[in-house]
Structure formats: structure tokens, C-alpha cells
Amino acid sequence: MTGEQVMRKLLAGTEPVLALAPMQDVTDLAFWRVLSPYGGPHLYFTEYFRVFATSRLDKHILKSITHSPADHPVVAQMIGNDIPSLVRTACELQHHPVAGIDLNLGCPAPVVYRKCAGGGLLRDLKAVDAILGALREVVRVPFSVKTRIGFDTDAPFPELLRIFAKHQLDLLTVHGRTVKEMYRSEVHYDRIAEAVAAVRCPVLANGNVYSAKKGLEVLQVTGARGVMIGRGAIRNPWIFRQFEQVRTGAPAQLPTGFEVLDYVRRLYAALDAPDLREASHVQRIKKHLNYLGVGVEPKGEFLHRMRRISTETDLFSLCEEFLAHDRPLPLEPFPLALKATDVMAGVQC
């Protein structure tokens, strides 16, 4: 089956749908290849294609579509606000083996929302309505939206849901926070439940799904058809397999420290490139280790020391110090005393 056929079958079924969240410069094809052997998701969402008047398809992101295995349905995500450019890009993407087209209405990065894109569009629901109407006319594969519940308040959320229902989306992903809340507040799962009741398409719940048990709790509370996981999957690539284990009544199989260390080694190798200097290579994997680090030990020492390392030798010396053991690791985030602006929160769009 094609990726589109697999996705349509998933959406037409009754089993929970598990999706990997798109995280810019983090959940790329290299990470997908590392994740897959641990038990990957049902759906992969690309990093967003930036869309504007003179934009062209980003070759790096496009490769995650053209070089992904056939049994990995890939949804291409776009971000932008110019209707002709979004329509043009959606048409171009459909010449490639995409399982679906997704519009980003949730990215909370200031550099994005200040340009009235991503989460910034939630300040202009008339624009959202117009964009969805134009895209619905040209998108022949499953058409989806990833959204937050509002910009600085969730008051407009019911109207936003009416717009989504009007344009007959095939899938809706709701991150249960406003743009301004970033990742620092509790997730408003009641708003996700509201979305489930308001639209006819399947809804994926997104936000703070840090374990398989938490994912099942979120499904029970919201009634959503599935969950989208980002930071939790980087910290714990076993999370999708664990979800299926727990859902069927089996205990979640926890990795040992040695297995987590092997994951770091595989990730480091996957992120390498012929022209990449060692310091740049180490810096690149730190984006992933920021998420892993909060689940390694409770005092934040691993995170603190990791962020100051610049060589491969020092990096793996530190990892071996904390991970070279055969004790099982839950890889759930410890309540570390980090600043609200700490990079650990990252930007998950």
C-alpha cells in the first residue's frame, strides 16, 4: 500500500493512532531511521516547509518524504500565511509520495508567530478560514491541521472548531495549550475533549505525553483517536512500543542504561555528515540530549555537564558515567528545578 492508503486505513479504523510530532531540526529523517527499530509510530510528520511567495520545497525536508520506507506514512507539514503560495506548495507536495498534507497553526516560536504564521494565525480566524477553504479545494490526499487552542487565550477556540468542521478536515491534532503558554503550563485536556465532540474527523491529542501510561490516560480523558508525541519520543524511543504493550495489559518493557547508551551511540552516528566538524556534531546531538537528560537522573547534573561538552570523547565519557549499567530506566522526566526559559522545553511545532 502507498503511504496515503495506509493513512486512510488508519483513520478509518478504531485502534489508537500514534504519531510522531514534527520538531524543527530534531525529528528529521535521520532521527526517524534511529527511532524505527525501537518500535516507531504509525504516522510521521515532517518538519515544516516554510511557505512564502518565492519559497521552494526544502530539499532536506523533501528527502524525508522521498527516502522514507513505504510502510512509514509521511505527512508533509506546511507553515505560512500566503494563500497562493500555500496552494502552490500543496500541489507540488502531492507530486511526491506524501500520505497527507498538514497545516501548522500551532508553532509557538516568536520568530514564527510574529510573521503571522504557525500559532500567529490564531489571532486572525478569518485568515484561517480562507486558507483552509483554498487548501481543501486542491488537497486530494488526507488534509489535516495541527493547532493550539488559541493565541493568548482559549476563548476563540469554539469558533476555531467551527471553522475546522466547516472545511471537513480528515484529521485534527490539538496541542492543549495556547501559543503564549508555550510548554510551561498544564495541558488543557478538556479543550481537546471539546474538539473531539465538535468535529467529525479523528482527533490526535498532543501535549505532555511523557509515557505510555500517560498516553492512555490522555485518550481516556479526551476521547481522542490517538496521541501525537514529540519530546517524549526523543527521550524514550521505546514509548510507542510501550504504549501498545500497556494498552493490551502487558507491562511496559523498560530499557536498561546500557540500551539507552546504545541509543545515544546510534543517534550520534545517524546525525553525522562528511563535512561536519566534531564540535558541530556534538552540538547537534545536544538538541536531542536536552530531552533525554531530564529522564536520566533527578538532580540535573547530566544536563548541566552535557551542555558544556564540546568533544565526542567527553560526551561519551559523560554518557557512560550515567548510563553504563543494567538497571531499567523509566525515562520519565524528573521535576528538575530549571528556568522557565530553559532550552530543555525546546520548540515543538
CB burial string 259-292: b at 16+ within 10 A, e below: bbbebbebbbebbeeeeeeeeebbebbbbbbbbb
Give the span between the Cα atoms of 311 and 206, in whole angstroms. 35
β-strand 49-50 against 143-148: which pairing, if any? unpaired
Phi, then psi, of 55 in degrees rounded to 5: -70, 155
Classify the phi-psi angles of 168: left when phi > 0, otherwise alpha if psi is within -120 to 50, otherwise beta: left
Enter the C-alpha cell of residue 82.
500566503
Residue type at 70?
A: A
Cβ–Cβ < 8 Å for 104, 78:
yes
Burial of 249 (0-12, 13-18, 19+ CB in 10 A): exposed
**Catalytically annotated residues:** 107
Enter the C-alpha cell of residue 103.
497545516
Signed CA dihedral, 229, 230, 232, 235: sign only: positive
